[in-house]
Amino acid sequence: MLADIYPWQMNIWQQWQVLLQQDRLHHAILLAAPEGSGRIALAGRLAKTVLCRTSNEEPCHQCHSCKLFDAGNHPDLHQARPESEGKQISVDAVRQANHYAWETSQLGGKRVILIDGAELMGEAAANALLKTLEEPPSSCQFILLTAAIDHLLPTVVSRCNKWKAELPDENVAKRWVESALFESVPLQTIRLHRGAPLAAKAFIENGGTAKHAKLVEAFCTFVEKKQGLFTVSELLVKSERSGLNWISFLLLDAMKIQQGSDTGIVHSDMGDLLRLLATNLA
């Protein structure tokens, strides 16, 4: 797991460091952060620091614990996540995490349980976790990551110390992606990912730009000429959930243009096309 944090996470990290130094970090940290914001790296830094045997404010990168962490096989780090994309975190996965929480640390320090995508726990799984959060074992640090805090059981939320991750300003995010990929990036790519820089970067690396452009073009042709519905549905199926998001952003953008507003337009680099779409939808 990565433990190098990103510039936009410094503020939250420094606050955690103060709590770590004072030994006041809550036993269950709940971080609300969108996917693709670098949340795993931030959680990784926290986990590595909690587990480090020589420092309590920054991983030393030298001790046995830090080396095991970097090698990806730390015996005191346990992660619970869905078995595959789109699935829930099973009650068995949470029971396993609970069992692990009560075991003694193998390196004689703390144990860390990381739940990535905590909103994906079903009710039974969340209730199983709740019992452990209510009577937490000593020397066990929970880190819960979620993109949707409202989808968590309120009783679970109330047992955690809540944090909201900050995202960089969209122009800062754009420059960060540009310098990571050595290419210019349209602002709409950042907006399509609600400002999450790593999500925008992955989109470009995985050929998302061309897929998005094709779907937008096919959709606009369909609206204008009432032709090509099959192509639209085929592209939607290929792009899975993202495609539906793109179309909903596109329709919202067109509605804003119809109302004469240009605030919050996602497809900011497709002005002509949006105006045409807005006219054809009227």
Interaction site with Zn ion (CB under 5 A): 52, 60, 63, 66
Q: Cα–Cα distances in Å, from 72 out to 66, 69, 101, 178, 241?
A: 10, 5, 19, 29, 31
The 10 Å CB-count burial string (b at 16+, else e) for 234-251 is ebbeebeebbebbbebbe
Indicate the residue among 60 and 247 with the shorter CB distance to Zn ion: 60
- The whole-angstrom separation of Cα 33 and Cα 11 is 14
C-alpha span between 125 and 269 (Å, rounded)? 43
Task: Tell me how far apart the alpha carbons of residues 229 and 235 are, in angstroms, rounded to a whole number.
Answer: 10
From 64, 135, 128, 59, select the one nearest 93 (Cα to Cα): 128
| Nearest CA-CA partner of 76 in 59, 51, 53, 52 | 51
User: Shortest Cβ distance from residue 51 to Zn ion (Å)?
Assistant: 8
Complex with Zn ion: residue 60 or 124, whichever CB lies closer:
60
CB of 97 to Zn ion, least distance (A): 24
Q: Is the dihedral of CA 253, 196, 119, 236 positive or negative?
A: positive
Q: How far is the CB of 62 from Zn ion (least distance, A)?
A: 6
**Closest separation in Å from C-beta 42 to Zn ion:** 18
Closest distance of CB 83 from Zn ion, Å: 31
Q: The tokens of 75 are what?
A: 């015996």
Q: How far is the CB of 20 from Zn ion (least distance, A)?
A: 13
CB of 56 to Zn ion, least distance (A): 10
Task: Residue count of the chain, please give it.
Answer: 282
Nearer of residues 25 and 128 to Zn ion, judged by Cβ = 25
Identity of the residue, 13 or 222, whose beta carbon is nearer to Zn ion in the bound complex = 13
Compute CA distances 123 → 126, 152, 235, whole Å.
5, 9, 34
Nearer to Zn ion, 63 or 251 (CB): 63
Nearer to Zn ion, 57 or 217 (CB): 57
Question: Residue type for 213, please?
Answer: A
- 46 or 66: CB nearest Zn ion: 66
Q: How far apart are CA 119 and CA 272, in angstroms?
A: 39
